């Protein structure tokens, strides 16, 4: 159970940042995972008054505020057109609509959870995060930072490009955490395959051997899938063994490659 | 303690709460006992309320965050729910009935958003409402029968 003594609706990012420098304080996202912890904190810092629940569009990018809900991602026409529906596909199995109305982009990305569908997709989209203090950096780079950083995730920035994207995941049962997540994208002939829920957090694998460079066929798709599965690290947990995940990885990557031809 | 003000079932209320009080505990303390405590792990949908018209899990929202917002529970939506729940009862879809308020709340949200959903859209929208009795088929039949009845009545 999460308990705390003080609830603060920050009135500026500066105030939120100053408050979160204290180890005893914690930033509130959707609170869905936070509340599962048996923990007493000093103050929770709520960003809900900072206008970060908006998705802004410019000619070159989408700027997704940290307090945008996963449901907004699912139903946002522009983001789904940009990702050929991968955005909705990546979140549609996350518990239920009521959950996704509460869960935030910021909470999902900042936590860098191993099971995160959202982290997997944003990494494949070559998205960037904007941190109040540390500034803008790639999601891939952000994912490598130590877990306990004291900064405020302000927004996630998705570049508007001609990138084609496919998202697939494997779950033991509907609405459960994924056993494995897979996001494959291609831009200018360069393939980026992100595998998450290994069960470690998402990691990026490119087509280093140029297996897909000539053409996509069932044979080249299978070769690339085998290559990714052989390079990725997997581990075991209650949802599946490392060996099972490796096998599933081959299947998801192969299907993703073939599906990418259709989008 | 801190003071909050919100609109609960069309009534403006002011109350003193502990900062870490959850919305489910707050609305139940205000007499809204249709809001059920189920899993408490944000999985079952029993505690569904509408926050500014959007369905949320009240077990995962702080009462303090709900301050300044409009909260609706089934107590405040009796009229809107009345016709629909008859069709659920006709199908015997409620059985023990414990999940029913959350299920009805989310169905109201669905039908406000999409007045003529397909069966797949109904299943997808209600995936976060768990029921250990019914196997969901009776609930789906009840919604379908309600929608067909509304279509015929037009």
Taking the C-alpha atoms of residue A89 and residue A249, their distance in angstroms, rounded to an integer, is 17
Q: Determine which of B55, B111, B113 to mutate to test the interface with A (most A C-beta atoms within 10 Å).
A: B55
Q: Determine which of B17, B62, B111 to mutate to test the interface with A (most A C-beta atoms within 10 Å).
A: B62
The number of domains in chain B is 2
Same domain, B113 and B54: no
Tell whether B29 lies on the interface with A, counting CB pairs under 8 A: no
Which of B43, B74, B105 marks a domain boundary?
B74
Q: What is the pLDDT of residue A242?
A: 98
Q: What is the pLDDT of residue B81?
A: 94
Structure tokens belonging to residue A107:
């909470």
Model confidence at A176, in pLDDT bands (50, 70, 90)? Answer: very high
Across chain A, mean pLDDT equals 96
Distances (CA, A) of B122 to A95, A240, B95, B146: 15, 30, 20, 13
Same domain, B98 and B65: no
CATH code for position B111 = 1.10.150.120
Looking at the predicted structure, is the pLDDT value of residue A1 above 90? no
B-chain residue closest to A41, CA distance:
B20
Q: What is the pLDDT of residue A221?
A: 98
Taking the C-alpha atoms of residue B8 and residue B66, their distance in angstroms, rounded to an integer, is 10
Where in A201-242 does DSSP place strands (E)? 203-206
DSSP A201: P
Q: Which domains does chain A have, with CATH numbers?
A: 2-46 (no CATH), 55-159 (3.30.465.10), 164-260 (3.30.390.50)
Average pLDDT over residues B91-109: 94
Model confidence at A30, in pLDDT bands (50, 70, 90)? Answer: confident
Same domain, B54 and B84: no
Structure tokens belonging to residue A158:
């998705």
Q: What is the pLDDT of residue A235?
A: 98
CATH code for position B51 = 3.10.20.30
Same domain, B93 and B147: yes
Which of B74, B96, B114 marks a domain boundary?
B74
Same domain, B40 and B98: no
Distance from chain centroid for Cα B54: 10
Model confidence at B94, in pLDDT bands (50, 70, 90)? Answer: confident
Which of residues 97 through 126 in chain A touch B, CB cutoff 8 A? 97-99, 101-102
pTM of the predicted protein model: 0.95
At a CB cut-off of 8 Å and minimum separation 6, what does B17 contact? B1, B2, B3, B4, B26, B63, B64
Give me the total of CB pairs closer than 8 Å, taking one residue from chain A and one from chain B.
76
Same domain, B70 and B88: no
Same domain, B97 and B145: yes
Taking the C-alpha atoms of residue A165 and residue A182, their distance in angstroms, rounded to an integer, is 11
Q: Determine which of B5, B20, B24 to mutate to test the interface with A (most A C-beta atoms within 10 Å).
A: B20
Q: Are B38 and B99 in contact (CB under 8 A)?
A: yes
Tell whether B124 lies on the interface with A, counting CB pairs under 8 A: yes
Residue for token pair 């280093």:
A208
Q: Would the CB atoms of A95 and B43 count as touching at under 8 Å? A: yes
Partner residue facing A35 (CB), from B60, B110, B128: B60
Q: Would the CB atoms of B126 and A30 count as touching at under 8 Å? A: no
Tens digit of pLDDT for each residue in B3-52? 999 999 999 999 999 999 999 999 999 999 999 999 989 999 999 999 99
Same domain, B82 and B70: no
Model confidence at A160, in pLDDT bands (50, 70, 90)? Answer: very high
Taking the C-alpha atoms of residue B121 and residue B125, their distance in angstroms, rounded to an integer, is 6
Same domain, B93 and B143: yes
Q: Which domain holds residue B116?
A: 77-153
Q: Are B38 and B101 in contact (CB under 8 A)?
A: no
Which of B33, B54, B74 marks a domain boundary?
B74
Structure tokens belonging to residue A118:
């959202």
Distances (CA, A) of A250 to A27, A176, A184, A256, A261: 38, 21, 13, 10, 18
The SS3 call for residue A74 is helix
Query: Which residues of chain A make contact with B56, given a CB cutoff of 8 A?
Result: 98, 101-102
Same domain, B110 and B83: yes
Same domain, B21 and B57: yes
Distance, in angstroms, between B124 CA and closest chain A CA?
Answer: 8
* Interface pTM, i.e. ipTM: 0.96
Q: Would the CB atoms of B20 and A31 count as touching at under 8 Å? A: no
Q: Are A239 and A166 in contact (CB under 8 A)?
A: no
Laid out side by side, the sheet with A2-9 consists of: A2-9, A39-46, A26-28
Looking at the predicted structure, is the pLDDT value of residue A55 above 90? yes
Q: Would the CB atoms of B128 and A32 count as touching at under 8 Å? A: no
Query: Which residues of chain B make contact with A92, given a CB cutoff of 8 A?
Result: 124
Q: What is the pLDDT of residue B153?
A: 87
Q: What is the pLDDT of residue A156?
A: 98
In chain A the first and final C-alpha atoms are separated, in Å, by: 45
Q: What is the pLDDT of residue A32?
A: 83
Tens digit of pLDDT for each residue in A77-125? 999 999 999 999 999 999 999 999 999 999 999 999 999 999 999 999 9
Query: Which residues of chain B make contact with A48, given a CB cutoff of 8 A?
Result: 65
Model confidence at A26, in pLDDT bands (50, 70, 90)? Answer: very high
Average pLDDT over residues A132-154: 95
Q: What is the pLDDT of residue A166?
A: 98
Looking at the predicted structure, is the pLDDT value of residue A244 above 90? yes
Same domain, B40 and B84: no
Taking the C-alpha atoms of residue B104 and residue B108, their distance in angstroms, rounded to an integer, is 6
């Amino acid at each position: 159970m999460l308990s705390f003594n003080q609830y603060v609706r920050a009135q500026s990012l500066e105030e939120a940042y100053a408050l979160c420098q204290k180890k005893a304080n914690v930033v509130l996202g959707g609170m869905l995972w936070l509340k599962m912890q048996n923990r007493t904190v000093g103050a929770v810092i709520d960003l809900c008054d900072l206008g970060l629940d908006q998705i802004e569009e410019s000619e070159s990018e989408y700027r997704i505020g940290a307090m945008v809900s996963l449901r907004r991602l699912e139903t946002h026409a522009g983001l789904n057109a940009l990702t050929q529906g991968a955005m909705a596909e990546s979140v549609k199995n996350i518990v239920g609509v009521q959950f996704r109305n509460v869960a935030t982009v910021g909470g999902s990305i900042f936590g860098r959870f191993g099971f995160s569908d959202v982290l997997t997709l944003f990494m494949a989209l070559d998205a960037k995060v904007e941190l109040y203090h540390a500034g803008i950096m790639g999601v891939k780079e952000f994912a490598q930072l130590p877990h306990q950083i004291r900064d405020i995730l302000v927004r996630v920035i998705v570049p508007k490009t001609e990138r084609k994207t496919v998202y697939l995941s494997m779950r033991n049962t509907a609405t459960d955490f994924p056993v494995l997540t897979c996001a494959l994208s291609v831009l200018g002939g360069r393939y980026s395959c992100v595998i998450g829920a290994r069960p470690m957090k998402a990691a990026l694998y490119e087509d280093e051997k140029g297996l897909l460079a000539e053409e996509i066929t069932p044979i080249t798709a299978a070769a690339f899938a085998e290559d990714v599965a052989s390079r990725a690290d997997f581990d075991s947990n209650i949802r599946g063994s490392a060996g099972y995940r490796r096998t599933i990885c081959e299947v998801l990557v192969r299907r993703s490659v073939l599906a990418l031809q259709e989008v | 303690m801190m003071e909050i003000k919100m609109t609960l079932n069309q009534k403006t209320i002011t109350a003193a709460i502990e900062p870490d009080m959850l919305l489910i505990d707050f609305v139940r303390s205000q007499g809204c006992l249709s809001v059920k405590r189920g899993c408490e792990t944000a999985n079952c949908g029993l505690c569904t309320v509408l926050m500014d018209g959007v369905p949320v899990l009240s077990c995962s929202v702080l009462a303090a965050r709900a301050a300044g917002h409009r909260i609706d529970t089934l107590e405040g939506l009796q009229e809107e729910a009345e016709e629909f729940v008859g069709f659920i009862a006709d199908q015997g879809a409620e059985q023990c009935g414990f999940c029913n308020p959350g299920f009805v709340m989310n169905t109201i949200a669905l039908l406000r958003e999409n007045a003529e959903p397909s069966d797949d859209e109904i299943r997808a929208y209600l995936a976060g409402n768990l029921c250990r009795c019914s196997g969901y088929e009776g609930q789906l039949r009840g919604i379908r029968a309600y929608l067909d009845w509304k279509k015929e009545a037009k």
